[in-house]
A and B are shown apart, each in its own frame.
Chain A
Amino acid sequence: KAGVTQTPRYLIKTRGQQVTLSCSPISGHRSVSWYQQTPGQGLQFLFEYFSETQRNKGNFPGRFSGRQFSNSRSEMNVSTLELGDSALYLCASSPRQGGPNEQFFGPGTRLTVL
C-alpha cells in the first residue's frame, strides 16, 4: 500500500504570494490532518478533515485554510505569505477521525518564504 504523499516537496515563494500544498492519504484513509513544523515552535496542529468536512482547527490565522475532496485528498492554502510561514508542512492520514488511531505522516513540503 502506498504511503502518504505530499506535493510539492519543496517550494520557494515571496512575501505576499499564496501557496497551495497537496496531500494524498493512504488508500482507504478518510481523515487527513495538517501540521506545521518549525525550529522555534515545533510541531503545531493546523486542521483535520474527515469526510470532506473540517472537524478540528488549531490556533492559526484565517490565512491558513484547507479542504478535502471526495477521494479524501486534501489541500491546504496559505494566502498573503509571511516570512514566518517558512516551515515544513506535514500531512497525516488515518482510517478514522481522532481517538487513539495512528496517524501516518507524509514526507512533508518544505516551504521557504523570501
Chain B
Amino acid sequence: AQTVTQSQPEMSVQEAETVTLSCTYDTSESDYYLFWYKQPPSRQMILVIRQEAYKQQNATENRFSVNFQKAAKSFSLKISDSQLGDAAMYFCAYRSASPGGGADGLTFGKGTHLIIQP
C-alpha cells in the first residue's frame, strides 16, 4: 500500500514571502498521479496543483509550483508571494495509475497547517 508523509504539521510565513511545503511518498509503482489540495477553514477542499509521474516537467499554476523528484519520491509545493487567502490546511495526495484508475482512491498525507502572518 502507498503512504504519503507530510513532515511539517504547521508552517508559518510572512505575507508576500515564499514558503515550501514538503511531501514524500512511498510506492512500488512507476506510474501515478500526485496532487496538492487546500482545505480552508470553511472545510471545502479544492485542488491546488497536480503532477503526472511520467512528466518530468514540474507543474506550475500561477503562484503555486511543485518540485517533483521521482527518484527521491518527493513532491514539495512552493507558494510564492504568499497571500492571506493562502492560509489553510494543505494535503498532499497520491493516486495510482493502475488499470481501474486507482484501487485505493486518493491516499492523503496528514496535512500541513499554513499560517500567513500579515
Given A105-B44, A107-B43; A99-B101 close (CB under 8 Å): yes
20 extra A-B contacts, CB within 8 A, seeds A99-B97, A107-B44: A3-B44, A33-B105, A42-B110, A42-B111, A43-B111, A45-B106, A46-B105, A48-B105, A55-B100, A56-B101, A56-B103, A58-B104, A92-B45, A98-B100, A100-B33, A100-B95, A102-B47, A103-B106, A105-B37, A105-B46
Interface residues of B (CB under 8 A from A): 33, 37, 42-47, 50, 52, 91, 95, 97, 100-111
Sample 30 A-B pairs with CB under 8 A, ordered by A number.
Answer: A35-B106, A42-B108, A42-B109, A42-B110, A43-B106, A45-B106, A46-B105, A56-B100, A56-B101, A56-B104, A58-B104, A58-B105, A88-B43, A92-B45, A97-B100, A97-B101, A98-B95, A99-B95, A99-B102, A100-B33, A100-B50, A100-B52, A102-B50, A103-B106, A105-B45, A105-B46, A107-B43, A107-B44, A108-B43, A108-B44
Name, among B33, B46, B106, B107, the residue most crowded by chain A CB atoms within 10 Å (CB to CB). Answer: B106
Q: Chain A residues near B107: list those with CB within 8 A.
A: 45
Is chain A's interface secondary structure helix, strand, loop, or mixed overall?
Answer: strand
Given A99-B33, A100-B52, A105-B46; A55-B109 close (CB under 8 Å): no
Q: Chain A residues near B37: list those with CB within 8 A.
A: 105
Name, among B47, B52, B105, the residue most crowded by chain A CB atoms within 10 Å (CB to CB). Answer: B105
